[in-house]
A and B are shown apart, each in its own frame.
Chain A
Amino acid sequence: MQRGRLIAIGALLLLSAANGLQAQLFKALPSSNSGVTFRNDITETESMNILADFNLFNGGGVGIGDLDGDGRQDIVFTSTNRGIAMYGNLGRLQFEDRTQASGLVVDDTLINTGVLVADITGDGLLDVLISRRYNPNILFVNNGSGRFHRDTASPLAISMYTTHAAQIDYDRDGDLDLFFVNSGEPRRSGYLNPGRADRLFRNDGGGAYADVTSLCGLSDKGYGLSAAIGDVNDDGWPDIFVSNDFEERDILWINQKNGTFTNKAQQQLPYMSWASMGSDIADVNGDGMLDVVTLDMLPRSNYRRQTQIGGMSIYGPFFDSLQRVQNCFFLNRGNGNFVEIGHLAGISATDWSWCVLAADFDLDGGLDLFVTNGTKRDIGDQDYAYNLRSTGITSLKEASMKMPSSKLPNFLFMSTGGLRFRLASEETDVNRPHVSNGAAYADLDDDGDLDLVVNNTDDEASLLINTTCDGGADDKSSRWVGLQLSTGGNRQGIGARAQVHVSGRTVVREIYGSRGFQSTSDTRILLALGVGESADSVVIDWPDGRRTWHGAMVPGRYHRIEQQPMGTPTIDFFERAQSSPDTSVSRSVRPLFNEVGDSVFPFVHRENAFDDFKRERLLPYRYSKDGPRMTIGDVNRDGLEDVIIGGAKYQPTQCFLQQRGGTFQAASCGLDDMTSAEDVDVLLFDVDNDRDLDLYVVTGGAEFADGDEELADRLYLNNGKGQFMRSAALPDARDAGSCVVAADFDNDNDVDLFVGGRIVPGKFPSGARSVLYRNDKGVLRDVTDQIAKGLSTIGMTSSAVWADIDGDKDPDLVVVGEWMTPSVWRNTKGTFENVTSSVIPAALRGWWQCVRAADIDRDGDQDLLLGNLGLNCRFVPEPGRPIRCRTADVDDNGSLDQFITKDIEGVEVPLRGRQVMIQHMPTMTRTFTTFDSYAKASIDDVLAGRDTTSMSSMLVETFASGVLKNSNGSFAFQPFNDLAQVAPITEMLVDDLDGDGNGDVIIAGNLRTADGEVIGYDGGMGLVLRNQGRGVLKPMTSKESGFVLFGEGRDLGIIRSGPRRLLIATRNSAAARLFALPDGK
């Protein structure tokens, strides 16, 4: 089933790629042809300017709907303060201005925001609701035959700082309620000012609405710019995603099915956009689960990124570790748990963005994304912001009104079948520069493809006509099916979910009109059919909870499906899992793991507060947040496996002794003698061959000075009863370490160790000493330089593994680290040779976090699983365009200066911004007096005239995680599936979870250690890769695996506990999570 579906999509995409040289997808239709001459001109005055109203340039919206009942989609525009306009659709892409004739007249100069075209009164006719920021909203009621009157008595016609409204049947009573997303006071000065609450109005029939905001638990305040509605957790009840501007967090209101909502954003999203603007909900990647896209203001080009205000750094006044300056693409992995893949998808940076619409524009079966952007004044220009001087209010206004305007192209991202999108706007008229705000899609000419209507500031509105069904060689005019749903008074079928079976795949759509930003799109469903495909059946889940089935649909036209009041077979959603004929979408999945409550395993990691960037401002990442890692073994010899977890600075390394009955009791076990150290790795092993488990503790962290006693690793001997005593049988080496791994490398029947060196504190990028300890009758001796030349200075290691790489039955050593190639050391009778260059492929320098060995393809040799930073990052090295680090004290003030660079558009440029650069090196201001000059500078320009004689240089070539497959002792690299590239992989555990004999891979990850602007690489939530045989690793959804690990996963371990096995997952600065594994193994 699943495989068939993938092939179908593949074939469809191949088809469109073959025809990629066709005429452009979108053609702008000039107003002289269309008759649509609407413009949103914003004239600044003494009382109307960006100082008086910080939302002034938010622009207008677009409302689509059949307002006159002729079956054609008409258009309503809102302007900022020049009223609204209505254009009647005459067919064949001809429109006439019917503003006056329809009575849709707003003749004041107050500020308008969104437009909702919807049946507000419940009479089956589309009404028009105009949102206003500072004044009462306006409801135009449809009298029939295209005439409207203004209902000033409506309970909706009140003032509440509204940006936009959306229909939602939140109580599933069959009528549509209204959610208002609201902003706040114009004053926003950095003092306490949290905005306004959004409001929910319950439809009580006959145009009567009651404010149920507080009843529903929705009174969180914010500066709301959009709300997207959809059932994200597949429980049949609509949920709400609210995008809030500024520091106020976005909200994921999960419908509790009892008339109330609970905000689950912190539990179900890894993070969110900072100044969130427009948004859309749809099943973007076609896996049957609804995804969410939100917009922010991250510029796309290096120049604009360097010259525009970044918006937020970790040192900003309102910094929130859960917010990022970027568009967010929340990919639903099941039950409404989202990973964020904006950078990986290639859609994270679209500058000052307003409206996002997810729809299949080219009818290839995959949803594409359209994004509008621009602002009338470049108010983010840093040269402007940092040098503007007040000479009195009048001239400041003048100045703000003379700022330049950046007209930027809008963006069109085309689906490529996977998680990555292709920027295609340059091939179309979408690329014409405008300041664009609200937008809506609609099949304006009913030809089966979606056209775009865009509201532009200071310009005519754009009508972008989709040419997909316009005939020609790539004619798709009969390869689509349209659905128009209707139920009772809900003539647009708002809230219905359709599952359409198209030749073996299933397409899921939910109908909501209010989408993007301040706009209402076409509410009809439009589906692409590949060659030879047909829409075999349609399953509709109606908002009232009933379900209907419909047979095959004739392609090339719209079908009207009406829910019959009675007589149709209906099944309530609660039962749909059992009775649904469809197995791919709504089947109930019994997850592989079941999460066990926190009480069983009472460990919470507490990382000490330390900011590496206050010592070294230009570091690319912190290294003070390693750990916690654990080691498992029967410490007290009671026959039960126990756990020891390393503590951060000020937290002791602790035992968790397993009790009969499967609980764990915390105990010090004598390990709390050095709590001021940062213990980054722990290992139970028998150092003295007395048949109890002794403990090795690796200390690390960045919060110490080189040579501090806290940096000395510690060896503890077990007294046989689970009490540990510090042993002196270990050299007093004070290096910040990363990991310890054990093996009998000299084949003398005792356990020897490798301890990885991490970093010399305060001296990035100097790696600390890595060491091989030979066990001489219980005494550990550093024999590194005698038996493994060069290993001690291998670099900033993070992880290592012993594995018999060459099949000669002795353990070889593999070491990975940041800025390193995975390093392989072949063991020959107890001496080691670095054979990396002969067995590891080129171009594999990465920011490796983890290495594990397993025979993943079951061919009899050890393969290597490698965890890297992942591909969901703001900057990713590409072939021939590495990320480099150049280091020297170029300003001779005693501190090292690190320059992280990348080749962007053919020039090696510094990635860090001017602000942090001059903060670290103030004299840089002398060379780069403006942001403009810095943004244009190459790294050579930055270093010109500086003392670079002592400069060192490193580079990194890939951030992809993957498998090094062993073939006769040499390796080939296979990157993991993109779903495993969403976040850094800090730990992998191989275990045959499904009992098919193939080792499956459990992944933990996420790092919140990135620099002050990138903040974190933490869009993931852990993952299980199911090994389908021969090493083919397939990502499981979290619904299937039951494995959800938000936060910074650091270690994984499996422990036997009575009849069951438990998976323990540790996290930095958070509680450990516990999962019960499937029985039977």
Chain B
Amino acid sequence: MSLLRPYIIAAVLFAAPLAHARALDGAEIVHTWNRLIIDVIMEDGFGPPVAARIHSYSNLAGYEAGRHQTKGYRSMSGMLNGFSGVPQPSADSTYDWRVSMVAAYQVACSKLLYRIHFSDSLAKVQLAQLSAEIAPDVFERSKRYGVSVGTAINAYARADGYNRTQGLPDYEWPRCDSCWIPTPPNYARPLSPYCGRVRTIVLKQASEFPVPPSVRFSTDPRSKFFQAAQEVVDISRNLTPEQREIANFWNDNPVVTNYHGHFVFNSRQISPGGHWMNIAQQVMVDRQLPMVACMEVYCNLAFGLFDGFTACWQEKFRGNLIRPITYINQHIDRTWEPLLQTPPFPEHASGHSTITAAAAEILTSYFGDLPFTDSTEARFGYGVRKFASFRAAASEASISRLYGGIHYRRGCDAGAEHGAMIGKAVLDRVRVKPE
């Protein structure tokens, strides 16, 4: 029994009546796929780093299969680490690139997602609509091409080492005074501890950019570290209603476990990466960007998220810094609880701050300092917020982790600095359109 499923089913069925009214719009297809991917990620329960990987490879498949729709878009072959040899369409045949794109999305999703009956049925609905619009031989050729691109992307994805991390022994975290240990209330084992070992997509390696260090650890009440923890306590005790709202709005914890005696259940929410994919969608729908342009934005944004998480995770599990709740319960207040549930991995630096800064850099480069309204969280009961720019939103998202009591201020700031560097690197290295 799930409350989520109706959303996905709605997303799948939504495509059908649209198509009756008019030809299936390429950009709408792209957005529908991205909505579905966000929802199935929630249903499948992927953690944020793995979610970003899914966003990346699925949109890469869509882009490579559909980019021919608009002249001038280059293949990303050669721009991404270890990525080459994408199948090319035959120059003297006719294709419908929407069909190729749908087929590529479906093939990629079949290896990336778990609940693939959702992606399969979306593809089925869309392909049925498209096959009615175009000649059968064109349809078949286009579909075959899309499948070949999707298959190539799957081989590329498989080579990034993620699958092998699944066969590794469980991660054993180090023990020390400053070390992260599992946190209440779940005391869960660390999420995706080996993600820092997965091949980055744009960065030369996960540690390409240095993460600004945290405050030097100490248990001395006069130390900067103690004061940093004390600040978390002080802020949490004096939260304004707006700060509380901000913390919840950007919580983006995909799985929160709720305990009511023996009634234990998980609340699902969009992941930080999914939140930004959704912001991008809202802006692109608003501005009616065409199909290939949409995929370019989705791809680069997803790469920023993926490399942001990979780089951040590499640092998190290198430094293994203690979370505020552990430090505070040990040294300041045994009973203190944060507003938000502490996610299960080391503190430094804030993953949300990292990917948010990267995302803001990337979206700003495409759309400038654009005021926008974000209603991503409305369906989770956390309302709608307006922002002056992507960077303003990013800075609010970053500080929200301090309000939520799950990061020190330094962890937020360091993540934001790190993320901005990653965002710029993606923009610098993935250039698919001639200037």
Q: Which residues of A contact B (CB under 8 A)?
A: 50-51, 54-55, 186, 188-192, 245-246, 275, 297, 309, 311, 315-318, 377, 379-381, 383-393, 395-396, 399-400, 403, 611, 613-615, 617, 891, 893-895, 921-923, 925-926, 929
In the assembled complex, the CB of B86 is this many whole angstroms from the nearest CB of chain A, namely 25
Please list 5 pairs of residues, one from A and one from B, whose beta carbons are closer than 8 Å in the complex, sorted by A's number. A54-B260, A191-B185, A388-B265, A389-B3, A390-B268
B241 at the interface (CB under 8 A from A): no
Chain A neighbourhood of B4, CB < 8 A: 387, 389
Q: Which residues of B contact A (CB under 8 A)?
A: 1-4, 42-45, 113-117, 163-164, 166-170, 172, 182, 184-189, 256-269, 334-335, 337, 379-381
Task: List the 9 closest pairs (A to B, CB-CB), nearest first.
Answer: A190-B185, A54-B261, A317-B187, A893-B167, A614-B170, A392-B381, A925-B114, A387-B2, A390-B267
Which single residue of chain B is at the shortest CB-CB distance from A190?
B185
Contact, CB under 8 Å: B259 / A189: yes
- Given A50-B260, A317-B187, A387-B43: A922 and B166 within 8 A (CB)? yes
Contact, CB under 8 Å: B381 / A192: no
Chain A CB within 10 A, most for which of B167, B267, B334: B167
Chain A neighbourhood of B262, CB < 8 A: 54, 275, 297, 309, 311, 379-380
Chain B neighbourhood of A921, CB < 8 A: 166
Chain B neighbourhood of A929, CB < 8 A: 114-115, 117
In the assembled complex, the CB of A135 is this many whole angstroms from the nearest CB of chain B, namely 19
- Given A614-B170, A922-B166: A385 and B266 within 8 A (CB)? yes
Contact, CB under 8 Å: B379 / A391: yes
Q: What CA separation (Å) do A379 and B261 show in the bound complex?
A: 10
In the assembled complex, the CB of A764 is this many whole angstroms from the nearest CB of chain B, namely 13
- Given A391-B381, A614-B172: A384 and B265 within 8 A (CB)? yes
Chain B neighbourhood of A396, CB < 8 A: 267
In the assembled complex, the CB of A168 is this many whole angstroms from the nearest CB of chain B, namely 28
Chain A neighbourhood of B269, CB < 8 A: 389-390
Contact, CB under 8 Å: A388 / B185: no
Q: What CA separation (Å) do A920 and B184 show in the bound complex?
A: 24
Contact, CB under 8 Å: A317 / B185: yes
Contact, CB under 8 Å: A390 / B381: yes
Contact, CB under 8 Å: B268 / A317: no
Q: What CA separation (Å) do A174 and B6 show in the bound complex?
A: 67
- Given A188-B261, A929-B114: A389 and B42 within 8 A (CB)? yes
Chain A neighbourhood of B172, CB < 8 A: 614
Q: What CA separation (Å) do A387 and B256 show in the bound complex?
A: 11
Chain A neighbourhood of B182, CB < 8 A: 317
Contact, CB under 8 Å: A893 / B163: yes
**A188-B261, A389-B380 given. 19 additional CB < 8 A pairs?**
A55-B261, A186-B261, A190-B184, A192-B335, A309-B262, A318-B187, A379-B263, A385-B265, A386-B265, A388-B2, A389-B3, A400-B263, A891-B166, A891-B167, A893-B166, A894-B167, A921-B166, A925-B44, A926-B114
Which single residue of chain B is at the shortest CB-CB distance from A617?
B170
Chain B CB within 10 A, most for which of A191, A316, A399: A191
Chain A neighbourhood of B264, CB < 8 A: 309, 385
Chain A CB within 10 A, most for which of B2, B117, B184: B2
In the assembled complex, the CB of A41 is this many whole angstroms from the nearest CB of chain B, namely 20
In the assembled complex, the CB of B336 is this many whole angstroms from the nearest CB of chain A, namely 10
Chain B neighbourhood of A246, CB < 8 A: 261
- Given A188-B259, A922-B166: A388 and B114 within 8 A (CB)? no
Contact, CB under 8 Å: A391 / B166: no
Q: What CA separation (Å) do A403 and B1 show in the bound complex?
A: 9
Chain B neighbourhood of A611, CB < 8 A: 170
Q: What CA separation (Å) do A388 and B265 show in the bound complex?
A: 7
Q: What CA separation (Å) do A577 and B259 show in the bound complex?
A: 52
Q: What CA separation (Å) do A245 and B261 show in the bound complex?
A: 9
Chain A neighbourhood of B44, CB < 8 A: 925
Q: What CA separation (Å) do A1048 and B409 show in the bound complex?
A: 49
Q: What CA separation (Å) do A297 and B168 show in the bound complex?
A: 33
Contact, CB under 8 Å: B114 / A923: yes
- Given A51-B263, A191-B337, A317-B187: A389 and B164 within 8 A (CB)? no
Contact, CB under 8 Å: A388 / B261: no
- Given A389-B2, A925-B44: A54 and B381 within 8 A (CB)? no
Chain B neighbourhood of A311, CB < 8 A: 262
Q: What CA separation (Å) do A379 and B258 show in the bound complex?
A: 12
Contact, CB under 8 Å: A391 / B186: no
In the assembled complex, the CB of A612 is this many whole angstroms from the nearest CB of chain B, namely 10
Chain A neighbourhood of B258, CB < 8 A: 189, 390
Chain B neighbourhood of A275, CB < 8 A: 262
Which single residue of chain B is at the shortest CB-CB distance from A918?
B114
Pick the residue among A315, A384, A925 that contacts B1 (CB under 8 A). A384
Q: What CA separation (Å) do A884 and B352 show in the bound complex?
A: 46
Which single residue of chain A is at the shortest CB-CB distance from B3?
A389
Chain B neighbourhood of A393, CB < 8 A: 381
Chain A neighbourhood of B189, CB < 8 A: 315
Contact, CB under 8 Å: A388 / B266: yes
Q: What CA separation (Å) do A614 and B193 show in the bound complex?
A: 13
Pick the residue among B3, B163, B335 that contacts A391 (CB under 8 A). B3
Contact, CB under 8 Å: A391 / B268: no
Contact, CB under 8 Å: A926 / B169: no
Which single residue of chain B is at the shortest CB-CB distance from A893?
B167
In the assembled complex, the CB of B193 is this many whole angstroms from the nearest CB of chain A, namely 11
Chain B neighbourhood of A922, CB < 8 A: 114, 166
Q: What CA separation (Å) do A388 and B45 show in the bound complex?
A: 11
Pick the residue among A51, A189, A388, A893 that contacts B267 (CB under 8 A). A388
In the assembled complex, the CB of A384 is this many whole angstroms from the nearest CB of chain B, namely 5
In the assembled complex, the CB of B259 is this many whole angstroms from the nearest CB of chain A, namely 5
Q: What CA separation (Å) do A679 and B334 show in the bound complex?
A: 42
Contact, CB under 8 Å: A386 / B45: yes
Q: What CA separation (Å) do A399 and B268 show in the bound complex?
A: 14
Which single residue of chain A is at the shortest CB-CB distance from B171?
A614
Contact, CB under 8 Å: A389 / B261: no
- Given A387-B4, A390-B267: A614 and B169 within 8 A (CB)? yes
Q: What CA separation (Å) do A615 and B263 show in the bound complex?
A: 31
Q: What CA separation (Å) do A396 and B268 show in the bound complex?
A: 12
Pick the residue among A54, A191, A317, A613 that contacts B263 (CB under 8 A). A54
Chain A CB within 10 A, most for which of B44, B114, B263: B263
In the assembled complex, the CB of B429 is this many whole angstroms from the nearest CB of chain A, namely 30
Chain A neighbourhood of B116, CB < 8 A: 926
Q: What CA separation (Å) do A613 and B262 show in the bound complex?
A: 26
Chain B neighbourhood of A50, CB < 8 A: 260-261, 263
Chain B neighbourhood of A380, CB < 8 A: 262
Which single residue of chain A is at the shortest CB-CB distance from B182?
A317
Q: What CA separation (Å) do A387 and B264 show in the bound complex?
A: 11
Chain A neighbourhood of B166, CB < 8 A: 891, 893, 921-922
In the assembled complex, the CB of A300 is this many whole angstroms from the nearest CB of chain B, namely 18
Contact, CB under 8 Å: A188 / B381: no
Q: What CA separation (Å) do A395 and B258 show in the bound complex?
A: 15
Chain A neighbourhood of B380, CB < 8 A: 389-392
Q: What CA separation (Å) do A216 and B185 show in the bound complex?
A: 34
Q: What CA separation (Å) do A138 and B261 show in the bound complex?
A: 26
Contact, CB under 8 Å: B184 / A389: no
Contact, CB under 8 Å: A188 / B260: yes
Chain A neighbourhood of B113, CB < 8 A: 926
Contact, CB under 8 Å: A893 / B114: no
In the assembled complex, the CB of A277 is this many whole angstroms from the nearest CB of chain B, namely 10
Contact, CB under 8 Å: B167 / A895: yes
Q: What CA separation (Å) do A1054 and B3 show in the bound complex?
A: 65
In the assembled complex, the CB of A810 is this many whole angstroms from the nearest CB of chain B, namely 46
- Given A317-B184, A388-B266: A190 and B261 within 8 A (CB)? no
Q: What CA separation (Å) do A929 and B2 show in the bound complex?
A: 12
In the assembled complex, the CB of B325 is this many whole angstroms from the nearest CB of chain A, namely 9
- Given A188-B260, A389-B268: A383 and B1 within 8 A (CB)? yes
Chain B neighbourhood of A55, CB < 8 A: 261
Chain B neighbourhood of A386, CB < 8 A: 45, 265-266
Q: What CA separation (Å) do A391 and B4 show in the bound complex?
A: 10
In the assembled complex, the CB of A950 is this many whole angstroms from the nearest CB of chain B, namely 15
Chain A neighbourhood of B188, CB < 8 A: 317
